[in-house]
Amino acid sequence: MELNARIPDGPLEQKWENYKKNAKLVNPANRKKLDVIVVGTGLAGASVAASLGEMGYNIKSFCFQDSPRRAHSVAAQGGVNAAKNYKNDGDSVYRMFVDTIKGGDFRAREANVYRMAECSLNLIDQAVAQGVPFGREYGGYLNNRSFGGVQVSRTFYARGQTGQQLLLGSYQALMRQVDKGSVKLFARHEMLDLVLIDGKARGIIARNLDTGEIERHAAHAVVLATGGYGKIYYLSTLAMGCNGSAIWRAHKKGALMASPSWIQIHPTSLPQSGDYQSKLTLMSESLRNDGRIWVPKKENEERPPNTIPEEERDYYLERRYPSFGNLAPRDISSRAAKERIDAGFGIGPLKNAVYLDFSKAIKEQGIEKIKEKYGNLFDMYLKITGYNAYEEPMMISPSAHFSMGGLWVDYELMSTIPGLFALGEANFADHGANRLGANSLLQASVDGYFIAPYTIANYLSTEIHTGKIDADNPAFAKAEEEVKAKLHQLAGIQGTKTVDYYHKTVGKILYDYCGLSRNKEGLEKAIKEIQLLRADFNQNVKIPADVDSINIELEKAGRVADYLEIGELMCYDALTRNESCGAHFREEYQTEEGEAMRNDEAYQFISAWGWNGLSQEPILHKEQLVFEFIKPTVRSYK
C-alpha cells in the first residue's frame, strides 16, 4: 500500500492556508442531508461534534461514560500550549514547531506539526471566549509557565485542572448543539465495530451499556476521537475505562495502525504503593517548574528527606542536563528516574520513587505563591498519600501515560479507510516518538475546532448525492451478527480467572519488555508470552452475568481481548525499529552516556501496520519522512 499524506504544496507557513483556500465546501442547505458519527466526547470529540453541529450537519455523538463531561480530557492538569509570546521571551510559531519536532525526536511530519503550532494562537482566544478561567497576572493579562523540553513560557493553565476547564468549554458548546437538535447524544454506548459499505466508513455497531441492546447507526462519515491505549499497562495514569478498542476494531477493518510502540511514560506520577491498585495518580508536569528532583547519594537511604543535607543529595537532572535541568522532556526524565531507582537510589516504602522538592521555591517565593500556582495539586497529594508537600518533598515515579501511536491519518486526519477520521490521541499525527507536555490538550482542541471541520467538509462535498445511508444494508447486518457472536463467545467461556488477571498480566509483560526500555530478546519473549496469554484467556476467562443486560465484566473482557492483540503489535513495532528514539529506547542502541541513538538513514519513517490475522506477523508499510524546513540533529538537552 502506498501511503499518501496529501500534504499541500507551498512554503511551510502557507500550507494550511493553501489547503483551506482550495478545500471543497458544502452549502448550508446540503449539510442538513449529511450525517456524521462522532465517537468520543473528550476535547477532540466534543469540539468536532459541536463545530459540525453549528455548521448544520446531523451529528450523532457517542460516549461510554454516563455524561460527556466524564471523558478523560477532564484529567489533564498542567496546561495547554500556544505560541502567543506573552512573556516576550522569544517564542514564535516557528520555535514551537521546532521544539515539537525535536521533542518528538524527528519522527513526525513537518506540515502537521507546523499546523498545530499555527492553530494554537486561535485556541486560546476561543477558550477565553468560552469562559475558561486561565491563570492571570496581577494586571489581568493571561499568565504562562514552562513545560518540559522548551526554554520559553508558552503554557496557559487553570491551576492544575486545565483539562477539566477546557472540557467544560467544549461540553457547553456540545450541549448547545444538543439543545438545538443538530447533535443527538448517545451516552452509555460503546462502539463495538465499524461498518464499511463499498470500502467506505458508513456507520458503527454500538452496545447500549444500560440494557445490553446492540444498535446500528449509519452515517456518511465516522470520526473516532476515543483517546489512547496507555491503559494497556494496567497501572497507568489513565482511568480504568480508557481503552483502545474503537481504533483497534477499525484497524481490523483495514485502517492502518501507526507507531504503536511509542508509549509515553510520564515522569511525575505517584508511585505504586501496593498490588491492590488499579491506577496511578498523575501529578502535573507543571510542578517541575518550581520543584527540584533528586535522590539521596547513598544507596537504600532510610533517613527522612528533610534530614539529608544538600551535599548528600543528587539533583540528577540538573547534573546530567544542565541546559534544561528539571524541565528535561518526559522520555528523558522518566528514563533518568528509572536508572536511579534501578541503581538502588530509589526512595519511599518500596524504594520505587524519587523526590520532587519545593523547599527552595517556597523559601524564595513564599508559600502563598506556591499555593496560588499548585494548591489543588498539593491538596490532592495530601489526600492520597497523607504527606504535606509544603513541609517535605513529594515522592514521584514514572508511569505509563500517553500513546503517541494510533491510527495512521493523512494531512486531512483521514485514515486509510475513506470516510473514517481519527482526532486527538486516537491518531498518531503530531507528536512523533515523544509528546511534549501541554501539547495533548492543544492537539485535541485544534483537531476538533479548527482542522476537522474543514477536512471533513472537503470529504463530504463528494457525498451530497449519495442519499441517506441505510442501516438495513447487509453490511450492517453482517457486522451486528459478528459482534453478537463475539460477545456470546466471550460470555460462554466460563473459566476460572478474572478479566483483571489477564489485564494485569499483559500489563506487566509490556512494562517489563516493551516499557521504558526494550531489547530484542525481551521483545521476542513478550510476543510469545502474549500469544500464550491470549490462548489462556480464550479458554479460562470468567465473565459472570449474561450478554443482554448491564455487564461491566463483559465490557472489560472485550477491551482486554483487544489489548492482547494491541500488545503483540506494540512488540512487533518495537522489534522492527533498530534504533532508539523518543519513548522507544532499545538498549542495543545507545550512546556511551546512555542516551538514545537514532538511525535516520534507516528509520526515518512512520511504521504503519496492517492487520494480518491472529498470531500472524502484521504487515509493515512505511511513510518516509521528508524534512524540507528543519534538519534532523542529535537530540540534546545538555
Q: Active-site residues: which are they?
A: 330
The helices-and-strands tally (H runs, E runs) of the chain is 18, 19
* Strand-pair category, 420-422 with 221-224: parallel
Amino acid identity of 442? Answer: L
* Residue 380 backbone dihedrals phi, psi, to 5 degrees: -65, -40
Which grid cell is 119?
492553530
CA distance 228 to 231: 8
Cβ partners under 8 Å of residue 78, min gap 6: 147, 155, 157, 160, 162, 284, 285, 286, 287, 437, 438
Amino acid identity of 83? Answer: A
Helices 552-576, 499-513: crossing angle, 10 deg rounding:
20
Cβ partners under 8 Å of residue 479, min gap 6: 193, 194, 195, 205
Burial class (CB in 10 A: 0-12, 13-18, 19+), 330: buried
Q: Which of 126, 519, 151 is nearest to 327 (CA)?
A: 151
* Residue 324 backbone dihedrals phi, psi, to 5 degrees: -115, -25
Q: Which of 476, 304, 281 is nearest to 393 (CA)?
A: 304
Paired with 353 in beta bridges are 347
Residue 261, Cα to own-chain centre: how many angstroms?
13
CA distance 325 to 318: 4
3-state secondary structure of 533: helix
- Contact at 8 Å (CB) between 412 and 455? yes
Cβ partners under 8 Å of residue 12, min gap 6: 97, 110, 111, 114, 628, 629
CA angle, 266 then 268 then 272, to 5°: 90
CA distance 325 to 387: 26
Q: What is the DSSP letter of 341?
A: I
Other residues' Cβ atoms within 10 Å of the Cβ of residue 21: 9
* Residue 516 backbone dihedrals phi, psi, to 5 degrees: -65, -30
Q: Which of 298, 301, 299 is nearest to 312 (CA)?
A: 298
CA angle, 469 then 475 then 480, to 5°: 105
CA distance 118 to 92: 9
Amino acid identity of 141? Answer: Y
CA distance 388 to 10: 55
3-state secondary structure of 557: helix
Amino acid identity of 206? Answer: A
